[in-house]
Structure 1
Amino acid sequence: MNAHVIPPAAPPNAPVVALRDVHKSFGALKVLDGVSFAVGRGEVIVLIGRSGSGKSTALRCIDRFETIDGGEIEVCGRRVDDARLDVRALRQDVGIVFQSYNLFPHLTIEENITLAPHAVKKVPKAEARALAAKVLAQVGLEEKLHAYPEQLSGGQQQRAAIARSLAMQPKVMLFDEVTSALDPELTGEVLKVIEALAADGMTMVLVTHEMSFARGIADQVVFMHKGKVHEAGPAGILSSPSTPELAQFVGTGL
């Protein structure tokens, strides 16, 4: 008997992602301490904060890479904290890109991109190849279809990783410090791709240290501090923080 539960259709104005009083510990270390925020359709939410504040853990909980100890997470109408969750179905709706590109080195960029649509979504090979060409064009890499990852720069590999996620046609994209391993020039080319996705209406949650980028792209900024949402609001909070902790973090309190 299949224990998976088909989620009811979410109302059209429901948030795409919602965290409600989420708690998570690793052993004695409390990493998320009652975290709540919501992401509307087409919104870009940027999570900021010092290393160890819980940002990346919150992101990994959204995609069920980590399970939570308390609270609720809802994504695309699915309860992520439900033990009966169909994780495979969830990950068809949620794309995630990490700071390490995680491309398969022995496969071409086209093969890296077509693998999941063909294996998971049963997209026919010819259709998957057409999809790969389309998403590579979206990230400005159409000429790298038959290249191997080692033949690409770090910025190009990160853009290829974004294209691979887009090929699954997700409803929400998660980005975890995707530019932290790149030099400034390569960082810029990756951020342009993310800006274009935002302009196209993709729902996104980003963890980043790029404050000027956050100011320009965020519909909402969530500042995490010691496992809690310490301050949240529109991008303007980066210019006029309400708390000394955020002021110090963005440099205005120094």
Structure 2
Amino acid sequence: MPAVQLNNIKKCYGALCVLDGINLSVEPRDVVAVIGQSGSGKSTMLRCINGLEQIQGGSIDIVGHRIEPGTHSLRSLRKEVGMVFQSYNLFPHLNVAENIMLAPRVVKNVPKQEAWETAQMVLKQVGLADKVGAYPDELSGGQQQRVAIARSLAMKPKVMLFDEVTSALDPQLTGEVLKTIAELAAAGMTMILVTHEMGFARQVANRTVFMYKGQIWEEGRSEDLFAAPKTPELRSFIAPNLK
């Protein structure tokens, strides 16, 4: 049974249809990279999967939850689906451990000691065990993004969504974050990643989806899709990135 299934998803803003009949199936342990030009609908698709945007047509089945037009109550879904954004969104007045402990304590009513132990575990997982008491402004951008990933992991999600998480980072810091994501992939986390890092998509994602004008234009095994793009749109998109 797929972990995520999108069935003929439509999302429009007035006359502009950002998603126009999206069908996508993601199996457990899949790592799916989503690539495409700005404005092709990549981030909107992720936001629909997590219920941050309401769809106007179709349905989304994700880890036992169904999202349809008019769906409003998504609290239980967000307990099982983690999302990491371009911006870190850490609370500046809370230290790293407190930032990570907040959602498990508030959303899942996890006891304080258990939340503390989970925070230590996920910080070790992202290579930041020594930053447990640091505050966000004492961390680099790459470290803050890894804390944001740890914060999502603390909720013990079944699926992780990443939306251009390295776009605001310089190349060295980008490498730190991509290494963390690659380790999650190797550990079997089901993930969908919107990314502009073509080399990373090719190496880490077992499948890649190319979006164009609100539609899935091509999809397949990453190795095959990058080696032999079938459409001129994909060929012209990836050519500058693979020299």
TM-score by length of 2: 0.97
Quote the residue 1:11 is aligned against. none
My pick for the range that moved more, 48-57 or 21-30, is 21-30
Secondary structure, counterpart of 2:201 in structure 1: helix
| Residue of structure 2 in register with 1:165 after alignment | 152
**1:59 counterpart residue number:** 46
Question: Which amino acid is 1:57 matched to?
Answer: T
Q: Could you tell me which residue of structure 2 aligns to residue 242 of structure 1?
A: 230
Aligned to 2:8: 21
Q: Is the 8 A contact 2:6 2:24 kept in 1?
A: yes
How far has the Cα of 1:26 moved from its partner?
1.1
Structure 2: gaps (5+ residues):
none
CA distance in 2, matches of 1:185, 1:104: 24
d(CA) in 1 for partners of 2:35, 2:147:
25
> Is residue 16–residue 75 contact of structure 1 (8 Å, CA) maintained in 2?
yes
SS of the residue aligned with 2:172? helix
Query: Size of the alignment, in residue pairs?
Result: 241
The whole-number CA distance in structure 1 between the counterparts of 2:164 and 2:83 is 11
Structure-1-length-normalised TM-score: 0.92
Please state how far the C-alpha of 1:82 moved relative to its aligned partner: 6.0
CA distance in 1, matches of 2:76, 2:207: 27
Pair 1:150-2:156 in alignment: no
- Which one of the candidate residues 111, 129, 138 is aligned to 2:125? 138
**RMSD value over aligned CA atoms?**
1.4
Which residue does 2:212 correspond to in 1? Answer: 225
Task: State yes or no: 1:35 paired with 2:35.
Answer: no
User: CA contact under 8 A between 2:54 and 2:71: conserved in structure 1?
Assistant: no
Measure, in 2, the Cα distance between the counterparts of 1:208 and 1:142: 27
Tell me, yes or no, if the aligned pair for 2:56 and 2:69 is still in contact at 8 Å. Answer: no
Q: Deviations over 1:192-228 (max 9, x none)?
A: 0000000110000000000000001111111000000
Which segments of 5 or more consecutive residues in structure 1 lack a partner in the other structure? 1-13
Contact 2:54-2:69 at 8 Å conserved across structures: no
Q: Which residue matches 1:73?
A: 60
The alpha-carbon deviation at position 86 of structure 1 amounts to 3.6
Contact 1:33 1:227 in 2 (8 A): yes
For the residues of structure 2 that align with 1:131 and 1:218, how far apart are their CA atoms? 27
SS in 1 for 2:108: coil
Quote the Cα distance in structure 2 between the aligned partners of 1:130 and 1:82: 39
Stretches (4+) displaced over 2 A: 82-86
Distance in 1 between the 2:90 and 2:61 partners? 29
Displacement after TM superposition at 1:81 (Å): 1.6
